[in-house]
Homo-oligomer: A and B are copies of this chain.
C-alpha cells in the first residue's frame, strides 16, 4: 500500500477517491454521499481529500468530465439526420441509464444550490458538451448540407433542451422514438 512519498501526490489515491465517489453516489444517492464515506471506501485519509479537492462536488465533477467526453463524442457519418439521431439517442441514454448520468443529475441538482458548482459545471462540462452537440451541425454546414447562416446555438437548444427537461423535471423516459422525433421536427423546419 502507498503511504505517501516525497514526490508529489499519489495517483493511486486520486483514482481511488474518484471511483469511491462515483460508486457511493450511485449506491446511496447524493444525500448519502459524505467525505468520510468516500475516504473510508477509498481507503484514504479525509485530509488527503481535503488537500486536493475543495468539496465533494468537485470530486464528482472531476470524475464526471472524462466520462462525458468519452461517452458523448458525436458521430460523423456524413449524414446530418443520422448524426443527430445517433447523438441525441446516445445523450439520452447517457443521462438516464448510466452511472455517469446519475452523477450528472446530482451535479445539476447541486448547481441549483451552489453557484460555484454551477460555474464549475458550466466551465468544465457544459461548454464542451455544447460544442459536442454542435458538431454534427457544423459538419453539415462544412459539407454544405446546411446554410452557413444556420443559427447553430439555437438549433442545439431546440434539440437537446427537451431531453434535459424530461431528465431533470418530468422524469419521463426519453426513448429513441422521442429523440428521433426531435430530429425530424428540427429538420422539417427549414
Contact = CB atoms under 8 A, between A and B. Distances in A.
Interface in A77-132: 105-106, 108-114, 118, 122, 126
Contacts of A164: 161, 164-165, 168-169
Interface in A151-165: 154, 157-158, 160-162, 164-165
Query: Does more than half of chain A's interface fall in helix, strand or loop, or is it mixed?
Result: helix
A158 B159 CA distance: 9
Contact of A108 (B112, B126, B158, B166): B112
B161 A122 contact: no
Contacts of A189: 185, 188-189
9 contacts: A31-B113, A108-B109, A108-B169, A112-B112, A126-B169, A157-B165, A161-B161, A161-B164, A165-B165
Interface of A: 29-31, 105-106, 108-114, 118, 122, 126, 154, 157-158, 160-162, 164-166, 168-171, 181, 185, 188-189
